[in-house]
Amino acid sequence: MNQKTNRGLFVTFEGIDGSGKSTQCRLLADHLRAKGHAVVLTREPGGSPGAEEIRRLVLEGEPDRWSAETEILLFTAARRDHLERTIQPALEAGKVVVCDRFADSTRMYQGLSRGDLRDTVDQLHSLMIAREPDVTVLIDMDPATGLARAKGRQGTEERFEDFGVDLQEKMRTGFLSLAQEYADRFRVIDGARDMACVASDVVATVQAVLDARL
């Protein structure tokens, strides 16, 4: 899937649980729609009917329900379906795709959480996905605050939150080094501020990318 053949813009949000990604995705989508852009707001795992079914398998149940290797396969299967059925058609139609998490989450959660499986994640990614976002917004914040916010939601999708604050610390550090590894597409934003402040930085960041493409 060639990255240069479409006219749309592919924006992803990354960060630890509870950092405010879903909130900021929604606010960015509202802002872009108000400016006249056609926007598809989507999320991972999920974003297509098949991938939403896989979401239930990976996010519910005991933390040791799947090995890291099996998770890599499940998250990648979900992503492939999401890419084929939702993301790629929207980009080809010239839309802005705003996606809550994408492959960088697999690089972190499955690649780092239980041993070093980053190479396996990257190999399967090249084989089955072969697509990076145009811009990735990393909402960075202290894990204790993020986890407290996430726990406040009291949902059933808590498998990864149940791995605890140590995992979130590791994920935060990992995301910050990923931002250096892919410095051309990552933008790091301080998420430990009120929603409106964070949103105004997010909008300015994405608007700058859109303006540079004109």
Using CB under 6 A, list all residues that contact ligand ADP. Answer: 15, 17-23, 149-150, 152-153, 194-195, 198
59 contact choice in ligand TYD, ligand ADP, none (CB below 5 to 8 Å, kind-dependent): ligand TYD
Identify which of residues 15 and 143 has a Cβ nearer to ligand ADP in the complex.
15
- The two structure tokens encoding residue 139: 């909402």
* DSSP secondary structure letters along 66-90: S-HHHHHHHHHHHHHHHIIIIIHHH
Residues in contact with ligand TYD by CB under 6 A are 17-18, 21-22, 44-45, 59, 75, 100-101, 105-106, 109-110, 150, 160
42 contact choice in ligand TYD, ligand ADP, none (CB below 5 to 8 Å, kind-dependent): none
CA distances for 76 relative to 125, 153, 176, 189, angstroms = 7, 26, 22, 27
Q: Work out how close the CB of 22 gets to ligand TYD at its nearest, in angstroms, rounded to a whole number.
A: 5
Q: How many Cα atoms are found within 13 Å in the side-chain-facing hemisphere of 40? A: 23
Identify which of residues 19 and 88 has a Cβ nearer to ligand ADP in the complex.
19
Question: How far is residue 130's CA from residue 149's CA, in Å, rounded to a whole number?
Answer: 33
75 contact choice in ligand TYD, ligand ADP, none (CB below 5 to 8 Å, kind-dependent): ligand TYD
Q: Work out how close the CB of 181 gets to ligand ADP at its nearest, in angstroms, rounded to a whole number.
A: 21
Radius of gyration of the chain (CA): 16
Identify which of residues 124 and 189 has a Cβ nearer to ligand ADP in the complex.
189
Tell whether omega for the bond before 45 is within 30 degrees of 0, i.e. cis: yes
Which helix or strand (DSSP H or E) is residue 53 part of? Answer: helix 49-59
DSSP letter (8 states) at residue 163: G
23 contact choice in ligand ADP, ligand TYD, none (CB below 5 to 8 Å, kind-dependent): ligand ADP
Q: Work out how close the CB of 214 gets to ligand TYD at its nearest, in angstroms, rounded to a whole number.
A: 31
Q: Where are the beta strands (DSSP E) in the chain?
A: 9-14, 39-43, 96-100, 135-140, 186-190
- The two structure tokens encoding residue 11: 């924006």
149 contact choice in ligand TYD, ligand ADP, none (CB below 5 to 8 Å, kind-dependent): ligand ADP
Identify which of residues 149 and 185 has a Cβ nearer to ligand ADP in the complex.
149
Question: How far is residue 72's CA from residue 78's CA, in Å, rounded to a whole number?
Answer: 10
Identify which of residues 19 and 76 has a Cβ nearer to ligand ADP in the complex.
19
Identify which of residues 42 and 88 has a Cβ nearer to ligand ADP in the complex.
42
**Contact between residue 198 and residue 169 where contact means Cβ atoms under 8 Å apart:** no
